[in-house]
Amino acid sequence: MDTSRIAARLEAIFTAQRSTAGEAVRLNEPEVFDLLQDLGLATAPYAFCPAGSGAEEKRDWAGRAHGLVAGSGKLLLKVVGREILHKTEAGGVMILSGEECASPAAILENVDRMQAEILSRVDEGQIEGFLAEGFVAHRPNTPGQEVLLSLRRDQAFGPVVIVGVGGTLTEWYGKGCAGNSTLIMPAHGFDAAEAAAALAAHPLLSLLCRPSRLYRTPPVDAEALAGTMAALADLGRGLEEDRNLPWELAEIEVNPAVISEGMLVALDGVGALRKRNAGAAVRPVGKIRNLLQPASAVVMGVSAKGANPGRIILDNLLRSPGLEQGRLAVVHAREKEISGVPCYPDVAALPRKYDLAVVAIPAEGALEAIADIVACDKAEAVILIPGGFAEAGRKDLARDIEKVLDDAHGRPGGGPVMVGGNCLGIVSRDNYNTFFLPTYKLPFNPGRGKNLAMISQSGAYLVTFASNYDGLISPRASISFGNQMDLTVADFLEYFLTEPAVNVMACYVEGFRDGDGQRFLDFARRARTAGKRVIVFKAGKTPLGARAAASHTASLAGDYAVASSCLAGAGVTVAESLNHFEDLIMAFTLLADRPAAGLRTGIISNAGFECSTVMDQMAGLELAVFDAGTQAVLDEELPLFAHRTNPIDCTPMTGTDAFAAACRAILDSPAVDAAILSSVPVTPALNNLPPAGDGRHAEDLDDPRSQPRQMLEIIGSSSKPVVVVVDSGSIYDPMCRMLLGAGIPVFRKIDRAARALAAFCAETKRSS
């Protein structure tokens, strides 16, 4: 689409209105209708009379308005004013019928009456004119007859197209459907065929374009509606890519667009332009390698007397295997050395350029410290630990630091990259630890997970994950990126695309920087193509509400709804809760070398409630039908009272050897692609506890014939993805740790196991 003509018209509007409207400029309804018609979209027939028109111009307009009455016998009259947000409350909407619109003179009389009513509520300067709109035959307030259409520029993800249930019941449908009344698709990468398929599959919007008990013939063709979405996407993409424009299209919303004679017709529209923010300089992402694998480091903010954050970081660095001996330094105004590490009075006195500088001084001194590092060229990467910037109301201080770094990025060499502020630091496995937590509180014992990168806006979340999975899952990198004053979550995703050892990127995100979500989507698509998995937990599900009081779109498609839709559309696995996030991390990390050939799943449990529950939580998994050979083994090994078809309920009376034999049969079956092996371990028929030591029982989970030992051998001999469920209390933690430590995902509830396995199998199946 050639958007140059539309851009020129919007440029003129922005330039003319900006002096009175500030940085944001609303579009009035005639301007929106003109834009829609340029896109080839139908609008209600209309005639606009600008304020200040002379008598002859008014009579000419009234004649045209009277021409719109034919057929319906009615005319819709509206005040036009981009700052009059609630026209009805201001007395600015009238439906004329009969004698009220029988002649041009009668229409003009009603305009005068409306204007007098409005002037009692708003300033005359807000009235830009009057719009006469012909009636379009449709069925209002009827499901499947009114549509909301919107092109909105999300600050993070760029332009997105939104389709929802329209009309006066828009918000009612949105609340009743818990925010699921819309379809949201990013303009970049928009595919009309995918949109048509998504519309047809949508629980509400499918009523528009699929035969139903209400409509044997769908109200509108799915391809036609997708084509309308494509036109909006093309406009959004075209304006976004023209970086010479000093403004951006914040939103165009049509509500409603009604179904009339099988096509969509816009009856009402609002829009807004806003000043475009200058983009940040391109960050030298390759220097993240210096950040994660430094051979040298300098720390600022180290106490010579006590254990402040800087001193704890220094102590942790002294124990870090990745730093070369003698290449650690401290900036301290008075001391000559601390803990055997040489000190230098200021940045300029440092004897060399370091891979990493850790700045652990209060926010007030951070600007000077980073400016000195840049000016003296003393570091390739910086970790800024303290908070007290934008999150504490010091946006000025944050902007100044960002400018120092942006200016450096624009010069030869690119300057240093920085993570933070307001971050906990970074733990780079087998390299270093800059968390300002002592190792006796958070030891970071090694475990599996060298294929995992944890990228978190919250440092505290990384602490909880590291503590909960200590010695079990130890990520290759645990990155607390904080305020994203320089490096962003998308930068780290881009970097790990080049790291062959990392195939799972788990991101805890509270917010994206302006435009960074769009970059994140691009890298996520590339990651998926490369066989890497991206998992995201997006905090902040509460809608932030409409940015413009006249807009319905932001309340229906708030920040979280846009983010989750865009991320899922790019192939990201979006976690619904923190428990789900960690379940997905465990499954994707530990099963990475066990791709699923399909979705056929074999399930065993010794508890009937688990067999019933899991059937409601298959989430796309298919229940395998055992082949004759597998069924024969199950019939032979399991007791007669067991239910021996899938899902197998072997009951609590099944002993360890029989349970293990059934597990082996499931994994050996050619009809099974994946397995859920579950048992409630409290039955005395299973050997799964550590030795009692007091003779209370003879169980020993280290015995080669114990339940966990046999399961380890059986699972280890198979290449299929397997998850284990142990739904019981803390005395069974040793069994869980034994299995999890061997790289087998272990869950304490079968529904969580099924959801995580389903997500893993669906992703690997799509990749294959």
pLDDT of res. 547 = 39
State the fold for domain 45-135: Dna Ligase; domain 1 (3.30.1490)
pLDDT of res. 306 = 84
| Domain 285-513 belongs in CATH node 3.40.190.10 | no
Q: 421 preceded by cis ω (within 30°)?
A: yes
Bridge pairing between strands 432-433 and 426-428: antiparallel
Whether 749 and 727 have beta carbons less than 8 Å apart is answered as: yes
**Low-confidence residues of the chain: pLDDT under 70:** 1, 19-22, 179, 390-392, 541-558, 767-768
Whole-model pTM?
0.90
pLDDT of res. 550 = 42
Model pLDDT for residues 343-378, shown as the tens digit of each residue: 999 999 999 999 999 999 988 899 999 999 999 999
Half-sphere exposure of 416 (CA within 13 A, CB side): 32
pLDDT of res. 294 = 95
Whether 415 and 389 have beta carbons less than 8 Å apart is answered as: no
HEC readout, 447-512: CECCCEEEEECCHHHHHHHHHHCCCCECCCEEEECCCCCCCCHHHHHHHHHCCCCCCEEEEEECCC
pLDDT of res. 507 = 98
Half-sphere exposure of 375 (CA within 13 A, CB side): 11
H or E, element range at 112: helix 104-119
pLDDT of res. 556 = 47
Each domain of the chain, given as residue ranges in start order, spans: 45-135, 285-513, 593-767
In angstroms, the CA 347 to CA 357 distance is 10
pLDDT of res. 401 = 94
Model pLDDT for residues 287-309, shown as the tens digit of each residue: 999 999 999 999 999 999 888 99
Bridge pairing between strands 600-605 and 674-679: parallel
3-state secondary structure of 358: strand
Whether 447 and 473 have beta carbons less than 8 Å apart is answered as: yes
In this chain, the answer to whether the domains covering 45-135 and 593-767 adopt an identical fold is no
pLDDT of res. 172 = 80
pLDDT of res. 20 = 62
3-state secondary structure of 282: coil
Q: How far is CA 699 from CA 107, 120, 323, 639, 659, in A?
A: 93, 87, 46, 22, 16
Tokens of 400: 């100044």
Options 1.10.530.10, 3.40.50.261, 1.10.3720.10, 3.40.50.2300; which CATH number does 593-767 get? Answer: 3.40.50.261
